[in-house]
Amino acid sequence: MAPGPLPGGVRVTAPILTQTPLGRRHVMRRRIAAAVAEALLRMAAMVGIAALVLLLTVVTRDGFHRLSWDFITSFPSRFPEQAGIRAALLGSIWVMALTTVIAVPLGIGAAIYLEEFAPRNWLTRIIETNINNLAGVPSIVYGLLGLALFVRAMELGRSILAGALTLALVVLPIIIVSGREGLRTVPPSIREAAMALGATRWQTVRHQVLPAALAPMMTGIILALSRAIGETAPLITIGALLFVPFDPRGPLDSFTVLPIQIFNWVSRPQPAFHEAAAAGIIVLLTVLLSMNAIAIAIRYWSERRRQW
Amino acid sequence: MVSQDTPRPSNPIQVPVHHITTGPQQPSAEEPIVEVEGLNAWYGHFHTLKDINLRIPRRRITAIIGPSGCGKSTFIRCLNRMHELVPGARVEGKVLFEGQDIYDPQVDPVEVRTRIGMVFQKPNPFPKSVFENVAFGLRIHGYRGNLREAVERSLKAAALWDEVKDKLHQNALRLSGGQQQRLCIARTIAIEPEVILMDEPCSALDPIATLKIEDLMRELTQRYTIVIVTHNMQQAARVSDYTAVMMMDEDRGGRIVEFGPTREVFTNPKDPRTEAYITGRIG
């Protein structure tokens, strides 16, 4: 056998190992194991990519011809050819705007407190553990909470505000966790430098730590919000409408959102509605992928700038 | 408040140097600015500093030398209350600054750190412009004067102005290591502290950058008291007026075993451990 690189970076010269039959068999076995492992790992990676490609292909094939300005600006209709996503898109925008306004300051505030101010004791540890647990709670459970708390107890009804508050609860733990991760990317030496200049803890955070942590925190926020925009279950639970033939005009109006509108169309028997659903999915995916692209761009941009 | 006891000198920084003409005397003969009395420090259950007593003379350079891990850095971090920022860290004893105990419950640690500044081992400029690095300290203390002039004055005092005057708005992280460290010194003197603590300020720098910092330290004694921790005995011998030698016990607690004028400590050490350390047998 010719000498050459072996799997795992081992390099042997021919005479030493391959002289004995044992050595040759051993080398062969290791080569085969490495090749099999690599093939399996590559397949695992391909499954994910294939799923995405398949999804995009099917959706595009079914829905692309339904995409038009009319589709975006029309209300839903019982005639599938005239149905559009206007109300759902506006509803999604309203809900997302309110969710952002509610969840981002709360989440970032909590992250800053836990990371920069809180003493390291048992109480903080309990809070931390619970936030991590909350991030894993199924969103429909938040829907039930929202229904009991916002819709009924606070009498907000099936409003945009109730939906936004519920979604804020869903994404709050994610924002807190990713916010803390962002703050941890700032080296402690920056905090020490500011404190040693006589800055208070707040001045240190406000003027040095936050600006340096902003980009990674933004990435986390956008990813959390892109989860919220696709959430359906909690909003159906609190009673977002399936059919909304009007523009939502304020936080207390009833509403629907894109994923609910899509769900509605998919559940109709007529194939033409399924095409509308596919077109709606394209719109939703476009919004989602753009949000992710912004997050990636921010991460790329900040990593290039940061040099410590 | 500490600041009402002693008004700060208001004259601008004088650049020309005249080395101290009177040679260092016994530390007890000099007027101290900081007096450490019975200082003990802990990290959790680890008793890291044991019964430290030291009088740090005003407008002199005091070097703290000793083997790795003997508590030199911990000690100077106790002098401006940076030690307590580490979770689990604790301090007992007194550190009198201008006669006022900085560990008195009435004293605000933020005020202490304003008057006793610190330069760290690894240059740690803020990831902002050169200008903003120096202006930050002034801004947070509500400086009302001309910010540009104050920044320029501080950069000149840190012997950095000529090198950065054309790149004030460039990111400080693009400066060389030595320039970054002088920027950290400029940032510290911008808020006009009375004492500057330096924790191995040259350990990350090349010999030429080190020499620049040492020259700068000599100039700064015109106005400031400097306490420098160093691993480098030649540096202590070159730059300092007084030297304190720290050693650790069997249980790794640090003590000061010798303190005196640098020349005496190096040529005629009184403690056998000092002699063993400076001749290279410990450390």
Convert the pLDDT of each residue in A222-265 to its tens digit.
989 998 998 988 998 888 777 777 888 888 888 889 999 999 89
Buried (b) or exposed (e) across A161-186, using 16+ Cβ within 10 A? bbbbbbbbbbbbbbbbbbbbbbbeeb
Residue A209 structure tokens: 């730590």
Which among B10, B26, B15, B2 is positioned nearest to B215, based on CA atoms?
Answer: B15
In a domain, B12, yes or no: no
The reported pLDDT for the residue numbered A14 is 53
Cβ–Cβ below 8 Å for B124 and A199: no
pLDDT of residue A255: 87
Rounded Cα distance, B176 and B123, in Å: 10
CB–CB contact A196 B136 (8 Å): no
CA A73, A74, A76, A81 torsion-angle sign: negative
Q: How far apart are CA A40 and CA A37, in angstroms?
A: 5
The CATH number that applies at residue B91 is 3.40.50.300
In a domain, B170, yes or no: yes
**Per-residue burial over B35-53, b = 16 or more CB atoms within 10 Å of its CB, e = otherwise:** bbeebbbbbeeebbbbebe
Flag whether residue B86 sits within 8 Å of chain A, measured between CB atoms. no
Query: Which amino acid, one-letter code, is at A114?
Result: L
Candidates A124, A192, A197, A308, partner chain B, best to mutate (most B CBs within 10 A):
A197
Q: How far apart are CA B129 and CA B169, in angstroms?
A: 5
Class of domain A69-305: mainly alpha
> How many separate domains does chain B show?
1
ipTM: 0.84
Is residue A86 within 8 Å of A283, Cβ to Cβ? no
DSSP B124-162: ---SSBHHHHHHHHHHHTT--S-HHHHHHHHHHHTT-HH
Let me know if residue B236 belongs to a domain. Answer: yes
Q: Is residue B3 situated within a structural domain?
A: no
Cα separation, A88 vs A72, in Å, equals: 9
Query: What contacts A53, CB < 8 A, 6 or more positions away?
Result: none
Q: Measured between beta carbons, which residues in chain A are less than 8 angstroms from residue B110? A: 198-200
Mean pLDDT score across all residues of chain A: 87
CA pair distance A50, A262, nearest whole angstrom: 23
What per-residue confidence (pLDDT) applies to B282? 65
Taking the Cβ of residue B272 and every Cβ of chain A, the question of whether any pair is shorter than 8 Å is answered with no
The mean pLDDT of A120-135, rounded to a whole number, is 90
What is the nearest CA distance from B174 to chain A, expressed in angstroms? 8
Q: Which two tokens stand for residue A191?
A: 């905090």
**DSSP secondary-structure letter at A307?**
-
Structure confidence at residue A308 as a pLDDT band (50, 70, 90): low
Looking at residue A25, its pLDDT comes to: 74
Report if residue B258 sits inside a domain.
Answer: yes
What element of type H or E holds B242? strand B242-248
Domain boundaries, given as residue ranges, for chain A: 4-66, 69-305
Half-sphere exposure at residue B275, Cβ-oriented, CA atoms within 13 angstroms: 6
Per-residue pLDDT of chain B (283 residues; tens, 9 = 90+): 444 444 444 443 333 333 444 455 666 678 899 999 999 999 999 999 999 999 999 999 999 999 988 999 999 999 999 999 988 899 999 999 999 999 999 999 999 999 999 999 999 999 999 999 999 999 999 999 999 999 999 999 999 999 999 999 999 999 999 999 999 999 999 999 999 999 999 988 889 989 999 999 999 999 999 999 998 888 999 999 999 999 988 888 899 999 999 999 999 999 999 988 888 876 5
The whole-number pLDDT of residue B21 equals 42
Predicted confidence band of residue A82 (pLDDT cuts 50, 70, 90): confident
Domain limits for position B235: 31-278
In a domain, residue B117? The reply is yes
Question: Which residues of chain B lie closer than 8 angstroms to A308, CB-CB?
Answer: 127, 173
Mean pLDDT, range A151-180, rounded to an integer? 93
pLDDT mean over A89-117? 94
HEC per residue, B43-93: ECCEEEEEEEEEEEECCCEEEEECCCCCCHHHHHHHHCCCHHHCCCEEEEE
Amino acid identity at B262: T
Answer yes or no: do A190 and B124 touch at CB < 8 A: yes
Q: pTM score, two decimals?
A: 0.80
B124 touches chain A (CB under 8 A): yes
Query: What stretches of chain A adopt beta strand conformation (E)?
Result: 4-5, 11-12
Chain B residues 132-151 within an 8 A CB cutoff of chain A: 136-137, 139-141
Quick check: is B57 in a domain?
Answer: yes
The torsion angles phi and psi of B196, rounded to 5 degrees, stand at -115, 120
Q: Confidence band (pLDDT; 50, 70, 90) for A285?
A: very high
